[in-house]
């Protein structure tokens, strides 16, 4: 089997949406009620990909998972913070794919100059909370009964990970597009 981690391209987005759709329709893991249209989903991915890496994990050219960083908050003082998201195909969970994607993503975000990473997780999704704790994310906040989906209220747990030591005069994070392409390719291969 040929395994790769790649930066997303337009041809990948429809497959990513197929992975995301069951989470929307069958679980409270995402608080969305309706599966976004392909155009809406493309817009989201393109908007994030201006600044943040969006990674796809492929086995024999088929996408089995994806992860990306995104804007955490819009105010200027939050520019060193990012939110991370990961979704895996149900048929490929527990195979280490999520770990490979996150190691790659966190490495790239660190090189970009981010200091803090946040994950917002439906509190009943203990599997995801434990996954994030494996990467030294720690719960910092809890929003009780903040989302209503599938006929019941759901709480939200916010987890935090510090990527690097805080500096007195931090340099603004850069777009991943400004990273050395050879460095990016090396990182994409490193955690397979």
Largest CA distance in the chain: 49
- Note the pLDDT of residue 167: 96
Determine, yes or no, domain membership for 66: yes
**In a domain? residue 189:** no
| Contact call for residues 125 and 149 (beta carbons, < 8 A) | no
- Looking at the domain assignment, is residue 187 inside a domain? no
- Chain CA centroid to CA 98, Å: 10
Specify the number of domains making up the chain. 1
Radius of gyration of the chain (CA): 16
pLDDT attached to residue 7 = 98
**pLDDT of the residue at 171:** 97
pLDDT at site 168: 96
| Chain segment 123-172, per-residue pLDDT in tens | 999 999 999 999 999 999 999 999 999 999 999 999 999 999 999 999 99
Instruction: Find the CATH number of the domain harbouring 42.
Output: 3.40.630.30
Q: Kindly report the pTM of this predicted structure.
A: 0.96
Rounded to the nearest 5°, which phi and psi values hold at 135?
Answer: -95, 20
Domain that holds residue 53: 3-182
> Which residues of the chain register pLDDT less than 70?
none
The token pair at 63 is: 């996408």
Asked whether residue 188 is assigned to any structural domain, the reply reads no
In a domain, 191, yes or no: no
Pairing between strand 54-59 and 62-71? antiparallel
Cα within 13 Å of Cα(155), Cβ side: 10
With a CB cutoff of 8 Å and minimum separation 6, the contacts of 156 are 120, 121, 122, 123, 142, 143, 146, 147
Put the strands of the sheet holding 3-7 in their side by side order: 3-7, 54-59, 62-71, 81-88, 116-122, 152-162, 138-149
Token look-up 């790649």 returns: 6
pLDDT at 150: 97
């Amino acid at each position: 089997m040929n395994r790769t981690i790649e930066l997303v391209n337009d041809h990948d987005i429809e497959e990513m949406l197929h992975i995301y759709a069951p989470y929307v329709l069958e679980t409270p893991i995402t608080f969305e009620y309706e599966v976004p249209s392909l155009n809406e989903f493309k817009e989201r991915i393109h908007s994030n990909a201006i600044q943040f890496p969006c990674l796809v994990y492929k086995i024999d050219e088929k996408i089995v998972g994806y992860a990306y960083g995104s804007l955490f908050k819009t105010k200027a003082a939050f520019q060193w913070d990012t939110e991370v998201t990961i979704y895996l195909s149900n048929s490929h969970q527990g195979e280490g794919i999520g770990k490979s994607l996150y190691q790659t993503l966190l490495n790239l975000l660190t090189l970009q100059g981010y200091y803090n990473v946040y994950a917002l997780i439906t509190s009943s999704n203990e599997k995801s909370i434990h996954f994030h704790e494996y990467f030294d994310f720690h719960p910092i906040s809890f929003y009780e009964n903040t989302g209503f989906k599938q006929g019941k209220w759901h709480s939200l747990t916010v987890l935090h990970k510090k990527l690097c030591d805080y500096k007195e005069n931090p340099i603004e994070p850069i777009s991943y597009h400004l990273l050395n392409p050879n460095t990016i390719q090396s990182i994409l291969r490193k955690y397979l």
